[in-house]
Amino acid sequence: MKNKEGKRYRIDRRGFTLIELLVVMVILAMLAALVGPKLFTKVGKGKQSAAKTQIELLGQALDSYRLDTGHYPSTSEGLNALVTSTGATGWDGPYLKKALPNDPWGKPYQYQSPGTHGEYDIFSYGADGAPGGEGENKDVASWE
C-alpha cells in the first residue's frame, strides 16, 4: 500500500492467530484440571482450622464468664449467655466482641455443660452437619 506521499508502507499485522489462542487455552485448562483439586482440599482444611480457632475463642469467653459468675452457662442457656445476660449474678458481659459466630459451614456451634469430656463441650459437626466423618466432614471439638 502507498501513503499520501507515494511511499510504500507495510501493514503491521501483529497479534495471535486463532490456533495459537486455542493452544494456550487448552494448556491453561489442563493446568487448572491438575491444580484445582489440590486447592479445594486446602479450602476444607482452612475451614477446619477456622473452626478450631473459633472454639478456642469461645472457650476463653466461657472462662471469663465463669470467673465473673462462678459457673459456666448451662446447656439450656447455651453460648448466647456470652452475649446476652441471663440474669446470672456477677455477669459482666458481653464476653464476645462481636455476635455469636456460626461455624465456618454456617451452622451454630453445639454446646453442653456439664460436658462429657470436661466442664463444658463445644463442637461442630463439620461440613456435613452429622456426627463423625473425615476430611471437611470431620467433627471439630474443644476436647481435641
User: pTM of the entire structure?
Assistant: 0.68
Asked if the structure places residue 37 within a domain, the reply is no
Question: Residue 10: inside a domain, yes or no?
Answer: no
The pLDDT value given to residue 47: 87
Partners of residue 124 on adjacent β-strands: 140
- Give domain status of residue 102, yes or no: yes
Residue-level pLDDT at 31? 86
CB atoms within 10 A of CB 12: 6
What is the predicted pLDDT for the residue at 18? 87
Q: What is the pLDDT of residue 75?
A: 93
Total tally of structural domains belonging to the chain: 1
Q: Looking at residue 105, which CATH number applies to its domain? A: 3.30.700.10
pLDDT of residue 2: 57
Q: What is the pLDDT along the chain (144 residues), one digit of tens a residue?
A: 556 666 666 666 677 788 888 999 999 988 888 877 776 666 667 888 899 999 999 999 999 999 999 999 999 999 999 999 888 899 998 999 889 999 999 999 999 988 888 899 999 998 888 888 887 888 999 888
Q: Contact, 55 vs 109, CB < 8 A?
A: yes
Q: Residue 26 falls within a domain, yes or no?
A: no
- What cell does 13 get? 499485522
Beta bridge partners of 8: 2
Residue 133 lies in a domain: yes
- Tell me the HSE value of 112 on the side-chain side, using a 13 A CA sphere: 11
- Residue 118, domain extent: 44-141
* The predicted structure's pLDDT at residue 58: 94
